[in-house]
Amino acid sequence: MDVNRSVLTLDEFTIQQLRDFPSATGELSSLLRDIGLAAKRINVEVNKAGLIDILGAFGTTNVQGEEVMKLDVFANNQMMGVLKHGISCAGIGSEEMDDIEIFDDPISNNSKYVCLFDPLDGSSNIDVNVSIGTIFSIYRRVSELGKPCTKEDFLQSGNKQVAAGYVIYGSSTMLVYATKRGVNGFTLDQQIGEFCLSHPNIQCPEKGKIYSVNHGNFFQYEQGVKEYITACQKKTKADGGPYTQRYIGSMVSDVHRNLIKGGIFAYPGTTDKPNGKLRLLYECNPFAFIVEKAGGRATNGKQRILDIQPKELHQRTPLFIGSTKMMDELDTYLQTSK
């Protein structure tokens, strides 16, 4: 059988990139490999989700006598497990856990990085077979190497991220990650169980025709947001339209699509929830990093997401993210209606 050597696997790609940095220790590529492994395991379970009626519903006992775990708990355990047993991560923070988990063993205490993640974002969509995802964010520790990591390592602003990425469990499974060198996407070849480079050097188009927002909250949005959405609805060919509204309710899928095709995604604050729904550390910062590295922008309506100094692990923030020209237009509405 011919082997297509023009296709790079995730490991080959990260190792090749490393060669350009003779001082690099390989810890970051090992961490990305660990996340890739967890993603493959989560992928297997996500694909089985439709079979729960046959295999046993969550919380019940399966034929082996084991309790069937909720998928988001399973995903959290997989991410935690690979990072704990790997050699690159000193501790984790997860949307699923109240507090950080400090690994505190001799290898982890000497690891350079900490990782924050949302193990299964959009998990309310599992029952209806809609794409969901894992989101992750990697920081270099600020605490002293050789000792356990501290909360300070996790409460760094997003502009300190070393890498961030997501896995989308969709019609195909993809892992996309960004470093300061750019954004690259890998599609899982299910037959060989490898993520293969399929979307090199992803660039977010400067403008698009897609806007993604929960219209059900429209009357709870601030005036400028309402005016921008109304302007999107009124776009004609003459001013770059018509626009189309696409909102899956699964951030990974919504932002992934807009990243590739061009568009804007918003989860604004509402009168009920002034800070919106999305979490700064697990959802907004990683996507802001990825989209900026691909040439786009991300704000909370007032300031760049990546410049927000986090105060607590689970803090929420309004989010506007996407193609630069669309973000610029949004800004004109947010500023004039203040």
Q: Which residues lie below 8 Å from residue 238, measured CB to CB, with a gap of 6+?
A: none
264 binds ligand AHM (CB under 6 A): no
What tokens were used for 124?
């309310």
- DSSP-derived letter for residue 68 is P
d(CA 242, CA 195): 36
- Using the minimum distance from each CB to ligand AHM, give the nearer residue, 58 or 241: 58
Q: Using the rule CB under 6 A, which residue among 38, 174, 229, 251 binds ligand AHM? A: 251
**Beta carbon nearer to ligand AHM, 75 or 330:** 75
- 285 touches ligand AHM (CB under 6 A): no
How far apart are the C-alpha atoms of 207 and 326, rounded to whole Å? 6
Provide, rounded to whole angstroms, the least separation between the CB of residue 17 and Mg ion: 29
Pick one of 78, 123, 270, 323: the residue that binds ligand AHM (CB under 6 A). 123
Q: Quick one: 10 or 42, whose CB is closer to Mg ion?
A: 42
Q: Tell me if 96 contacts Mg ion by CB under 5 A.
A: no
Alpha carbon distance 335, 338 (integer Å): 6
The answer to whether 214 contacts ligand AHM (rule: CB under 6 A) is: yes
| Near ligand AHM by CB under 6 A: residue from 93, 119, 122, 262 | 122
CB nearer to ligand AHM: give 130 or 142: 130
Q: Provide, rounded to whole angstroms, the least separation between the CB of residue 239 and ligand AHM.
A: 27
User: Which residues on neighbouring strands pair with residue 175, listed in sequence order?
Assistant: 167, 186
Shortest CB 91 distance to Mg ion, Å: 20
314 touches ligand AHM (CB under 6 A): no
163: closest CA among 33, 302, 73?
A: 33
Contact of residue 214 among ligand AHM, Mg ion, none (CB under 5-8 Å per partner type): ligand AHM
Nearest to Mg ion of 118, 292 (CB atom)? 118
Q: CB of 125 within 8 A of CB of 149?
A: no
Rg (CA), the chain: 20
Given ligand AHM, Mg ion, none, residue 195, with its beta carbon under 5 to 8 Å by kind, binds: none
Q: Which stretch binds ligand AHM (CB under 6 A): 21-29, 116-124, 162-170, 187-195?
A: 116-124
What SS3 state is found at 237? helix
CB of 196 to ligand AHM, least distance (A): 26
- The region of 103-111, 114-122, 141-149, 189-197 touching ligand AHM under the rule CB under 6 A is 114-122
User: Scanning residues 150 to 179, which ones bind ligand AHM (CB under 6 A)?
Assistant: none
273 binds ligand AHM (CB under 6 A): no
**Sign of dihedral through CA atoms 104, 105, 111, 113?**
negative
Under rule CB under 5 A, which residues in 113-132 are in contact with Mg ion? 118, 121
Count of Cβ atoms closer than 10 Å to residue 197 Cβ = 17
H/E stretch holding 252 reads: helix 251-261
Cβ-based nearer residue to ligand AHM, 62 or 124: 124
What separation in angstroms does the CA of 3 have from each of 7, 10, 75, 92, 198? 9, 17, 33, 38, 16
Report the C-alpha dihedral over residues 162, 286, 74, 176, rounded to 10 degrees.
-80
- Is residue 118 a contact partner of residue 95, using CB atoms and an 8 Å limit? yes
Find, among 86, 141, 146, 147, the residue nearest to 113 by Cα: 141
Q: Is 137 in the site for ligand AHM (CB under 6 A)?
A: no
From candidates 121, 153, 222, 292, binder to ligand AHM by CB under 6 A: 121
Per the listing, tokens 């890739």 go with 36
CB of 113 to Mg ion, least distance (A): 22
Q: Which residues bind ligand AHM (CB under 6 A)?
A: 118, 121-124, 214, 249-251, 267, 277
